[in-house]
A and B are shown apart, each in its own frame.
Chain A
Amino acid sequence: MAYSDKVIDHYENPRNVGSLPKDDANVGTGLVGAPECGDVMKLQVMVNPVTGVIDDAKFKTFGCGSAIASSSLATEWLKGKTVEQALAIKNTDIVSELALPPVKIHCSVLAEDAIKAAIADYKSKQSQDKTSSVGAGASV
């Protein structure tokens, strides 16, 4: 299968690889997917508590090139967006930006799930002071 230039670019030069302190109250962590399915994404956002804007985003992904590219692109898009704007990112936006073929659409779905999970984790931290960092995804 041939990969689009954008997928190759994100695979070779992934943006924002890394981790943010997951216990920080302003950091939301989403962990989605499963090793036995062949893809796991960890996506983190750091939200400015004053402005509600995502100041930083990081990812780590176990998966194919398209999964890596989808999550890399997602972190790029997240930075500078408010939490509400971030929730408006749709998997189809990722599909068209990366020109993903039909068999790779699930990679974009996973990236959208990761965004939602990270933000849900952030929100739950904000609403409940002392809870541990459990998002809509897996518990870390």
Chain B
Amino acid sequence: MKLPIYMDYHATTPVDPRVVDAMLPYFTQHFGNSASRNHAFGWAAEEAVDTARQQVADLIGANPKEIIFTSGATESNNLAIKGVAEMYREKGNHIITCVTEHKAVIDTCKKLEKQGARVTYLPVQKDGRIDLDDLRNAITDKTILISIMTANNEIGVLQPIAEIGAIAKEKGILFHTDAVQAVGKVPVDVNALKVDLLSLSGHKMYGPKGVGALFVRRRNPRVLLAEQISGGGHERGMRSGTLNVPGIVGLGKAAAICQAEMATESQRLSKLRDKLNEKFHKSLDEIYINGSMEHRLPHNLNISFAYVEGESLLMGINDVAVSSGSACTSASLEPSYVLKALGAGDDLAHSSIRFGLGRWTTDEEVDYVVEKLTNVVRRLREMSPLYEMVKEGVDLTKMQWVTH
């Protein structure tokens, strides 16, 4: 077993060597501009892009003409939300999203609010999922877009996308989903789910960084977007800029591999994840799973180890790469807003660890991580005043804390 162990596959994934092999010829040999229509270099590039477009479309049950290549999911989310807000502003100015969305969605919505849009941020229930009644109640005759993520990046919780899609369809409202964490990991079909816009990213599915895509429905309804990057009119005028051919080839290959291996891989990972979870529960008391276990990505686990702080936990397992919702590990010095939204209390957010398993996670690594982390949790609890007080029977919630 090689150290350090990578168990942070929600942050990013390594590029699959098969993807690298597919990309390499497009840097030096077939380096053409896919928009060069009059020579062989351009044709080779265009053909490669067409193949990749088909591969990405196949993975999500779309038509290749509905795939717009972008620089990644942040751009896809921006294009979808800002593009709809601008294009449909005659129709309305109200957007519905959710408090646990990625910042690429939330901050995009906040920017639109400054420009006059009205945004509803739906709360989530304890399990991390939105309440469909809240969604129905939030809809007005000015609502033009619902944007709800397929799977959350911290807690791996799957939102009821098919149900949301049905509601959006019934009301004639466009439905966008940020599916970055789900595509390639669990089945996603844009028609079955009645999704109109879907964001995905290369580097979350063993493809390269700097490339992503936005699915834009062409029929029932035909979705129009105001371009956010102007120029040569590439990608059906929705996203100008010379195509990143090697990146797109890599994204296509990554999509094809995911499609071929998803069924077996998701089973393998959910077994490993369940093992990780069970072993923690056997060896430690007072640990809490954040978010629904039933509606969850197969490779995600997010646990709060009560009475120990996340960053100090990470410090004790420096040969294991995971992440924490603790304030100390975030740039903002605030604990995870996703965990706070679950209503479990900030103290549990500070104690949380996210495990993201992936294509190269082994059984042996799971054993190592459990043993290592268990020892650190025990050691830190021995020096935790909170653990001591709880063991003495003190109710921490009834204490008068001196905040600072």
Residues in A lying within 8 Å of B, measured CB to CB: 3, 8, 11, 14, 17, 19, 31-42, 59-65, 67-68, 103, 106, 109-110, 113, 137-140
Name the prevailing secondary structure of the A interface residues: mixed
A113–B309 touching, CB < 8 Å: no
Q: Interface digits, B384-396 against A, CB 8 Å rule (1 contact, 0 not)?
A: 1111110000101
A64–B309 touching, CB < 8 Å: yes
In the complex, which range does the number of interface residues on chain B fall in? 20 to 34
A38 surroundings in chain B (CB, below 8 A): 309, 326-328, 335, 346-347, 350
Other than the given A14-B383, A63-B312, 4 more pairs (CB < 8 A) read A36-B345, A64-B312, A67-B309, A140-B394
B308 interfacial contact with A, CB 8 Å: yes
Contacts A/B (CB < 8 Å), 26 sampled: A11-B312, A32-B404, A33-B402, A33-B403, A34-B401, A35-B347, A35-B396, A36-B346, A36-B350, A38-B309, A38-B326, A38-B327, A38-B328, A42-B388, A60-B385, A60-B388, A62-B384, A64-B309, A64-B315, A64-B326, A67-B312, A68-B312, A113-B402, A138-B399, A138-B402, A139-B400
A60 surroundings in chain B (CB, below 8 A): 383-385, 388
The CA of A67 and the CA of B350, in the complex, are separated in Å by 14
The CA of A137 and the CA of B403, in the complex, are separated in Å by 10
B307 interfacial contact with A, CB 8 Å: yes
B404–A110 touching, CB < 8 Å: yes
Q: Which residue of A lies closest to B400 (CB)?
A: A138
B309–A39 touching, CB < 8 Å: yes
Give B157 Cβ to nearest chain A Cβ, in Å: 23
Would A17 and B315 be within 8 Å (CB), given that A62-B307, A139-B400 are in contact?
no
Would A36 and B326 be within 8 Å (CB), given that A60-B385, A62-B384, A137-B402 are in contact?
no
